[in-house]
Chain A
């Protein structure tokens, strides 16, 4: 059963307010690659302004919107003003859900980007993140799902798989599983890259994220960093293919390849669309 056939969103593309309108117009002009796209994952800050024309353009394309919040500190303290702004934007776009990476993304009003702090992987930290997710859901009035962030340094008694599942269960929310972030987590914590078959979080997975990454080899200590425009390595797509078997029917898959060439995006769209088309759930093993 395909994702779309299972009532899911199918294949999505990660966009921003800078490029979403242009992509919509490309779709309406008959772009064959974009014709395979089922929804838009829109990265938005609370103080962004949605162009008046955008909801109509998206509707004309038949593209629902998922709002990927930017700079929400799920792992420390929430800012009600930020959430109010996000609610206004999500309502304007009739967002299917909100999502955000766990961790600390703003420090004293300074947006950190990849200088963020991933969550401390402890039970106490999971409880705090979960409480924040519940509050987000209540204030935003729509589902709010958590994503595993990029991790370059990790500490705590849990691993990322355990942590994600703990937060999602305590908050009763969905999980956004970022393939590059998870592979990078394992590389940067010197643990074997894995795809945990019996992971209790699988039934909560709502979306897979797929983007390129880069290994930076500084002497004896290679570090993985996000590199969205990079072509997807074969191993990553194998990982995605297997994850689609473990995830529930209808799981969405979002390509986050902002900055990539048209050829790279076209190749990724084609490949991931194929994976989604043939994905069948694997038997539950635990």
Chain B
């Protein structure tokens, strides 16, 4: 019996876990293939995740604690020099270690700090920006100007919380949209409100 079928299954299976590989599929199937690749890789990343709070994990990432961070939040790009961790990753993820950047997650970290009222993360809102808020802020408002649609990315990251992902994968999974701003302020009750746009 011919094994062209088995060879095709092998080709697809391998490509599903190689984020750098050009999808070996017809153009009409490309978008769906990429979606499925993302699902698979995110699912594997979830296995590496121990459920640490996102901010904690991101804070550790910023602190440079690569090994702990890799174990904690399963962002494999930080595990590439982590010995047994990278061995474990390589068994399931050919090409997974290709991502080396963290810009999106840095923005997410900034957003989280902003939404907790930490200053120093974003710039103060201008008088014009404050005037656009639906209720007068009871305290200074801050504006985070991101190079993409940050709230949309945040929603995706929320979904990925239990899974984790590389920033490279996030870029593949999440259409980031154009530049946008996020404004945070405290309303009269002291609650922090976050507005997009």
Contact = CB atoms under 8 A, between A and B. Distances in A.
B40 A115 contact: yes
Contacts of A76: 5-6, 9
Given A153-B29, A155-B26, A155-B29, A223 B5 contact: no
A142 B76 CA distance: 47
23 contacts: A76-B5, A76-B6, A76-B9, A115-B43, A117-B12, A117-B13, A120-B5, A120-B9, A152-B35, A152-B36, A152-B39, A153-B12, A154-B32, A155-B25, A155-B29, A217-B159, A218-B35, A218-B39, A219-B152, A219-B173, A219-B174, A221-B31, A223-B35
B39 A104 contact: no
Interface centre among A77, A153, A223 (most CB of B within 10 A): A153
Interface in A142-172: 152-155
Nearest to A115: B40
A225 interface: yes
Given A153-B36, A155-B25, A218 B5 contact: no
Nearest to B176: A219
List the 7 shortest-distance A-B pairs measured between CB atoms, nearest first. Answer: A221-B35, A153-B36, A219-B175, A152-B36, A218-B173, A219-B174, A117-B9
A115 B45 CA distance: 13
Interface residues of B, number: 30
Given A115-B40, A223-B36, A225-B39, A125 B5 contact: yes
Contacts of A189: 32
B86 interface: no
Given A120-B9, A188-B32, A219 B25 contact: no
Interface centre among A104, A188, A217, A221 (most CB of B within 10 A): A221
Interface in A23-64: none
Interface string A204-227: 000000000000111111010100
B39 A216 contact: yes
A77 B8 CA distance: 14
Interface residues of A, number: 27
Contacts of A75: 5, 9
Nearest to A104: B9
A199 interface: no
Interface of A: 75-77, 104, 107, 114-115, 117, 120, 124-125, 128, 152-155, 188-190, 216-221, 223, 225
Interface string B150-178: 00100010010000000000000111000
A153 B37 CA distance: 9
Interface of B: 1-2, 4-6, 8-9, 12-13, 16, 25-26, 29, 31-36, 38-40, 43-44, 152, 156, 159, 173-175
Given A107-B13, A217-B159, A223-B35, 18 more contacts: A75-B5, A75-B9, A76-B9, A104-B9, A115-B16, A115-B44, A124-B4, A128-B1, A152-B35, A153-B32, A155-B25, A155-B26, A189-B32, A218-B38, A219-B173, A221-B38, A223-B36, A225-B39
Contacts of A114: 43
B94 to A, nearest CB: 13
A218 to B, nearest CB: 5
Contacts of A107: 13
A189 B174 CA distance: 19
A283 to B, nearest CB: 36
A50 B5 CA distance: 35
Contact of A153 (B4, B5, B33): B33
Contacts of A120: 5, 8-9
Nearest to B38: A218
B170 to A, nearest CB: 10
Contacts of B16: 115
A228 B193 CA distance: 36
